[in-house]
Amino acid sequence: MRCMVASTKSMAAGTAVKPMTADAEEEISALEFARVVETHRPQIFRFLLASLRDVDLAETLTQECFLKAHRNWKHFRGDSSAMTWLMRIAINLQKDHWRNRRLQFWRQTQANAVGIEEASEWLPNGERNAEQQILARERVAQVWKAVEGLSERQRTVFLLRYVEERELAEIAQATGLSEGTVKAHLSRALGRVRAELRGTR
């Protein structure tokens, strides 16, 4: 993606090719954005689903994320990867959502979030036997339980690392935290998961 953005910028600067018209530039930009949506939408949705455990809400926030990204696409300079940029938008949207929910404590917001048990039911049928599957399900439920007890930041960092498999530097960029803070959050989150697994081991 970074290459694509860079190529667009160099084309815009264009020394060898004819200078592009505004319409052509817009067309290329729209095509690029369409490709970004196609590539990263499932990942953003997955991250929001893991954060919220609510399919409808994750879908809504994913749409909002790409809408926001579309509005600001021309300002995206390519300093970070498009994925990191999108992830940052998604994290901010999620923060706004929680803040609004806290403020609206007097209003019963629609809660479609599924419980830990239901979330743990989702396991691919591998080559395992029934006993292994039950054990795997139990462990997934324990991790969900630990994740539920994490702070918002810890949860975000944990999910970005162990579900989205992002590098620490990327997580730091997406969350706006320093790498040291990210490591500290990650360590605490892992400690929680360990304690949860140990508690029933």
Q: Which residues bind another protein (CB under 8 A)?
A: 42, 45-46, 49-50, 55-56, 58-59, 108-112, 119-120, 122-124, 136, 139-140, 142-144, 162-163, 165, 186, 190, 193-194, 197, 201
Between 5 and 182, CB nearer to another protein: 182
Between 76 and 120, CB nearer to another protein: 120
CA end-to-end span of the chain, whole Å?
Answer: 44
Smallest gap from Cβ 80 to another protein, in A, equals: 20
Smallest gap from Cβ 191 to another protein, in A, equals: 10
CA–CA distance, 142 with 131 (Å, rounded to integer): 17
Smallest gap from Cβ 53 to another protein, in A, equals: 9
Smallest gap from Cβ 157 to another protein, in A, equals: 12
Between 93 and 163, CB nearer to another protein: 163
CA 14 to centroid of chain Cα atoms:
35
Smallest gap from Cβ 23 to another protein, in A, equals: 34
CA–CA distance, 39 with 136 (Å, rounded to integer): 30
Between 75 and 102, CB nearer to another protein: 102
CA–CA distance, 154 with 30 (Å, rounded to integer): 35
CA–CA distance, 128 with 130 (Å, rounded to integer): 7
CA distances, 17 to each of 10, 127, 133, 199 (Å): 10, 55, 59, 65
Between 33 and 162, CB nearer to another protein: 162
CA–CA distance, 24 with 108 (Å, rounded to integer): 48
